[in-house]
Amino acid sequence: MRRRLTALAVSAASLTLGLGAAATPAQAVPADKAQVLSNWTQTDAGSYNAWVSANNNQGAWSAYQFNWSTDYCSTSPDNPLGFPFKTACARHDFGYRNYKEAGTFNANKARVDSAFYEDLKRVCARYSGATKTTCNGTAWTYYQAVDKLGYTGVADDGTAA
């Protein structure tokens, strides 16, 4: 009889633990997600470099559930006239997608667009003379496109405004 009670108690405890594990909610997103997102979407080179490092090691940031998807420069060339704008476009997509998901897109759009322009100008700083002038002009055109057309009319909840 004692063995039966012990076995029953062990079974009941196992069932309780099993149900408890099944009822446990998914791991919560770290409380500093908004701060990390903000740190990675500033206009300075340090912010850009920190984002590039994180983008190259996305698995280390999986708990944050960031949206890393990108279409790079959308329908514009990723490397117009040979200028490598692809990474700047990816970081811009990261900002847009994650602020939209956070419901704070409108409050952050101007800064994300400005960070994009600064990223493009950093690409252009590698050149000199007429090539640099051409790159800067292309960067300005890309910036104007996202400033004027990037997700126009989108409410913070992602619906049309």
Q: How long is the chain?
A: 161
The dihedral through the CA atoms of 68, 69, 72, 73 has a sign that is: negative
Catalytic residue set: 92
Q: Distance between CA atoms of 126 and 47, rounded to whole angstroms?
A: 19
Percent helix, percent strand, percent coil in the chain, to nearest 5: 65, 0, 30
